[in-house]
């Protein structure tokens, strides 16, 4: 069953109520990963044992919804610096939560989710936002088997993993 959409495609209509639609520019494989994480987060809210677990699960829901474009800055509007930072952070965290604990993501994975067809144009800003998360110990940056302490002098592809403050 497919939901009815508004004429502009920005919202779906369920039982007469409008809900923001998922960003249609997200590549299917990443969209499915984020939907899977959203469903897992919703189950975690339902199954939470105590307020702390429930808060953590609700943060997971928020991150997945922002990554999908269903919350936060509207995906159909040009992103601001702050909105790109928020969506990049939520996307990185949601993708990593949905993968095995030792798995990694590439900054281009995040850029493909948040940037649509212009993802390459957004990649430098996305990288900057993700490096801020590395600086804050939320993420770890690696190149091959080496962990990178800073972005200074880094050339070539990097991978991002869960950091100590993830």
**Domain limits of the chain?**
4-162
Q: What is the pTM of this model?
A: 0.93
Instruction: Answer whether residue 2 shows pLDDT above 80.
Output: no
User: Using CA atoms, how far apart are residues 15 and 144, in angstroms rounded to an integer?
Assistant: 50
The CATH code of the domain at 4-162 is 1.10.10.10
Provide the token pair at 12. 């779906």
Rounded distance, CA 5 to CA 14, Å? 9
The CA-CA-CA angle for residues 103, 62, 64, to 5°, reads 40
Mean pLDDT over 36-64 rounds to 98
1 pLDDT band, cuts 50/70/90, is low
- Residue pair 111/123 in contact (Cβ under 8 Å)? The answer is yes
Computed from CA positions of residues 20, 26, 28, 32, in that sequence, does the dihedral angle turn out positive or negative? negative
Residue 3 confidence (pLDDT): 80
Tokens found for residue 118 = 């212009």
Q: DSSP secondary-structure letter at 105? A: B
Going by pLDDT thresholds of 50, 70 and 90, the confidence category of residue 107 is: very high
């Amino acid at each position: 069953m497919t939901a009815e959409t508004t004429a502009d495609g920005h919202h779906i209509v369920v039982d007469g109520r409008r809900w923001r639609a998922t960003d249609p520019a997200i590549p299917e494989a990443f969209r499915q990963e984020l939907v899977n994480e959203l469903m897992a987060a919703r189950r975690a809210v339902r199954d939470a044992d105590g307020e702390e677990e429930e808060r953590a699960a609700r943060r997971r829901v928020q991150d997945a919804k922002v990554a999908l474009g269903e919350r936060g800055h509207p995906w159909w509007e040009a992103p601001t610096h702050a909105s790109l930072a928020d969506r990049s952070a939520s996307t990185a965290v949601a993708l990593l939560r949905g993968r095995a604990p030792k798995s990694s993501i590439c900054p281009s994975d995040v850029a493909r989710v948040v940037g649509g067809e212009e993802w390459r144009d957004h990649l430098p800003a996305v990288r900057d936002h993700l490096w801020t998360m590395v600086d804050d110990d939320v993420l770890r940056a690696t190149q091959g088997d080496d962990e990178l302490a800073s972005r200074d002098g880094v050339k070539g592809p990097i991978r991002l993993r869960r950091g100590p403050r993830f």
